[in-house]
Structure 1
Amino acid sequence: MVKAIILLLFAVFIFILHETGEIVRFINPNYLYFSQIASVIFLFLFFVQVPRIFTSSEYDHSECGPWGCSHEDEGGGITVKTLLTYGLIILPLLTGFLLPYKDFGAAEALKRGISYSTHDHGHVEVHDELLVHQMDEGVQEIVKQPILEFDNENFVSYIRAVTSYPVNFVGKQILIEGFILEDDSFTNKHTVITRFLVTHCVADAHAAGLVIEEGSILGIHENTWVRIKGELNVKKSDSGLIPIITVSSWEEIHPPMDPYVYP
């Protein structure tokens, strides 16, 4: 009976996540059909398990506990192995049904590490024409944009282009949304506007963003979601050139329903 209940609860849990839309807070929407298939499998296994509850056997079940029988074991009864097994299986259900969901923020980004520079131009002088020659057509098209307006669809391609070829974006106008974090892992603390990128699920989520020039004087609190408009420039650091935003205006916004970006 316990096995049947657990299978049913897993199916119901996944169904609820889909019905409420909360599922996208855990996995990339491109993989939603996998979780739907999983819920169907759990439900199928539940119906397979139910008849066994009422099927009699050669064993006397009068001494069996609520967690099943152990007729093959010499001692019978509930074993430590059984308790650990069911405990590990039930734990996701308990946390999923009883604990509130929390989106990743500044604390998780700092623990996992944040990327705001992917190319090292720090110790070599490279002419702009050579950099343009090295860029693929997609990046060249981004460079031609009059203003870089980041959204969920283009965030990954834009952030990669800007952090890989920061010199080519100097003076470019930018409009970007994200949450604020303070990265003090460097000599000078960096204020960064950040988004989490989720490739498959939140387990592989990693943060990427852009440094805000003199962000500390703006008075924006950490974990606050903002919309920033400004101009892109570059700043030399120990690791190379870092793209930075010279802010012309900013405003606080409500956190989006779906805070993650999916590559």
Structure 2
Amino acid sequence: MVRFFILIGFAFMFFMLHYTGDINKYINMKYAYLSISAVVIMGFLGVVEFVRFSRKQAAEEKQAALAEEHQSAHDQHDHSDCDSCHANEHNHEHHHDHDHGHSHEEPNKLKRYLGYAVLFVPIFTGLFFPAYALDSSFVKAKGFSFPTFEQNAEQNPGNHQFLKPDSSIFYNKDDYKEVAQRELEEFVNQPVIKLTEADYLKGMEAIYNDPAAFMNKTIAFDGFAYKGTQVDGGHYFVFRFGFIHCVADSGVFGMLADFPKGTQLADDDWVHVSGKLTWELYQPFKQTIPVLKVTEWSKIDAPKDPYVYRS
């Protein structure tokens, strides 16, 4: 019966994540069909487990009733001496089996119950713990890094999760070259490159893959400001949190922006920025990186869904 509660618990947890809309804080919604499938499959398996348990319980009750009926019929005969003999033999065998069972079954039961307890933890947290949207405090805690243009994600595991989107680890080398070239052509010929929520990660990846092709082009996008401790003057990072597939490969993506003199922003202020792409030497990374020279900007309200997803 415990397995029934586990299966139904997981199905209900995923259902509630979809119902409340919090599922987008865990996965790229392009793959939402997988979690919906999980709800259906685990719900079905839960019903199967309930039917199996009910049939087993009914069979045990029927067997117990037959045993009781047989015992009643047996007690009507006067076989006290024989019964005493059989009882002694039965007690001896039962004692032996009882001792034997304790030596093997108890540890197995303990392991099984511990396993069940572990499975209940994600159900409990998923149902009762709030799903918070990430903000600049995540950046402060984790920091971010920027691999050199000659390095790829395989040489810098985890670095693709910050600042520069990098989906190359999900392709073989030749296939990724084709994807990167196709996406470069999609953006590079636009007179003004406006990165929307739908193509934010794809556009950022195209820009970082070949920044020279975008130099002096006008680029516009939305994001939250982050000053940190490593930039000065009117420089702020403008970020979006994004998922390539799910929260396991989520990260903070965007670029350094050089705002007009006198601009004052607080961390987590949402802004719309537009400007020309240039180069600057960023000392903490010890390399030259693409920087947006902001010509126009404005504060905006935080979007209902602060995340962007890889299309």
Q: TM-score range by the shorter chain?
A: 0.7 to 0.9
CA drift of 1:73 comes to 4.6
| Aligned residue runs from structure 1 range 48-67, under 5 A | 48-51=48-51, 52-53=53-54, 54-57=57-60
Q: Distance in 1 between matches of 2:113 and 2:226?
A: 42
Separation in structure 1 between the aligned mates of residue 35 and residue 101 of structure 2, nearest angstrom = 35
Q: Which amino acid aligns with 2:20?
A: T
Whether 1:47 and 2:47 are equivalent positions in the alignment is yes
Q: Which residue of 1 aligns with 2:289?
A: 242
Code of the aligned partner of 1:254:
A
Alignment of 1:118-129 (within 5 A): 119=149
Larger relative CO (CA 8 A, sep 6+): 1 or 2? 1
Once superposed, what is the RMSD of the aligned Cα atoms?
A: 3.3
Q: State how far apart, in whole Å, the 1-side matches of 2:148 and 2:204 are.
A: 10
Secondary structure of residue in 1 paired with 2:252: strand
Task: Please name the residue that 1:90 is paired with.
Answer: 120
Q: State the Cα distance separating 1:183 from its structure 2 match.
A: 3.9
Which consecutive residues of structure 2, in runs of 5 or more, have no partner in the other structure?
Answer: 65-99, 151-179
Q: Quick one: which of 301, 304, 309 aligns to 1:253?
A: 301
Task: Give 1:94 shift.
Answer: 1.1
Contact 1:170 1:233 in 2 (8 A): yes
TM-score, structure 1 length as denominator?
Answer: 0.75
Q: CA deviation at 1:149?
A: 0.7
The one-letter code of the counterpart of 1:162 is I
Alignment of 1:24-173 (within 5 A): 24-51=24-51, 52-53=53-54, 54-57=57-60, 73-74=102-103, 76=106, 80-114=110-144, 119=149, 136=181, 138-140=183-185, 142-173=187-218
Q: Deviations over 1:110-156 (max 9, x none)?
A: 55554667626xxxxxxxxxxxxxx9464255233221111123222
Distance verdict in 2 for CA 1:80–1:218, change over 3 Å: farther
1:16 aligns to what?
Answer: 16
Cα distance, 1:158 vs structure 2: 2.0
- Paired with 1:42 and 1:113, the residues of 2 have a C-alpha distance of 38
* Count of residue correspondences: 238
2:256 is the counterpart of 1:211: yes
DSSP-derived class of the 2:244 partner: coil
TM-score relative to the length of structure 2? 0.65
- Percent identity reads 26
Structure (1 or 2) with the larger CA radius of gyration: 2
Q: Offset at 1:161?
A: 2.9
